[in-house]
Amino acid sequence: MLGKKVEDALNAQMNREFYSSYLYLSMSVHFELNSLKGFAHWLRIQAKEELAHAMKFYDYMVQRGARPVLSQIDAPTGKWKTDIAIYEDAYKHEQKVTKYISELADLARAEVDHATEVFLQWFVNEQVEEEMNASDIVNKMKLAGDSSGAMFVIDSELGKRSK
């Protein structure tokens, strides 16, 4: 059985992952409408990945005999003036998620829940990748500056993302 504190924290993170999916999809819309289909595609795949993250928490809770409770998901409120602001927000968002994951890992350790600690290791590693991916795209956009040619190169690269 999961301890109550760990169970609640896992459940909260599951719902945050659903929110992440929502957030990335809302970011994708901006690029869809600005004919940067590669940027849009990358975010759409990311939205799917966040759903998969949520389901990892869901499945783990079920495995441990706990009930995943689906909460109301906030509407993403971001209104972005520039393309790069979106990916900067994505990067900030992932840094926040990393903080939540480490707090969860700290809690699992404090509660001496070894199984949950091991389960969370996957997310600890995943967050290293998530932060790197987002900051890498921000850096490329900075390098592109005002060059629409360079933006189209990045766009076609991001359009190749398969998972």
List interacting residues with Fe ion (CB under 5 A). Answer: 17, 50, 53, 130
Minimum CB separation of residue 145 from Fe ion in Å reads 27
Q: Which is nearer to Fe ion, 29 or 128 (CB)?
A: 128
> Which residue, among 145, 121, 98, 104, has the nearest Cα to 12 in the 3D structure?
104
Beta carbons of 19 and 73 less than 8 angstroms apart: yes
Q: Which is nearer to Fe ion, 50 or 88 (CB)?
A: 50
Q: Which is nearer to Fe ion, 30 or 53 (CB)?
A: 53
Q: Return the residue matching tokens 């290293």.
A: 128
Q: Which residue is nearest to Fe ion (CB)?
A: 53
106-116: b (≥16 Cβ within 10 Å) or e: ebbeebebeeb
> Which residue, among 44, 12, 47, has the nearest Cα to 31 in the 3D structure?
44
Q: Where are the alpha helices (DSSP H) in the chain?
A: 4-33, 37-63, 83-110, 114-144, 148-158
Minimum CB separation of residue 129 from Fe ion in Å reads 5
Overall size of the chain counted in residues: 163
Minimum CB separation of residue 42 from Fe ion in Å reads 11
Minimum CB separation of residue 103 from Fe ion in Å reads 15
Q: Which is nearer to Fe ion, 50 or 83 (CB)?
A: 50
Q: Which is nearer to Fe ion, 12 or 150 (CB)?
A: 12
Minimum CB separation of residue 134 from Fe ion in Å reads 10
Q: Return the residue matching tokens 């509660």.
A: 111
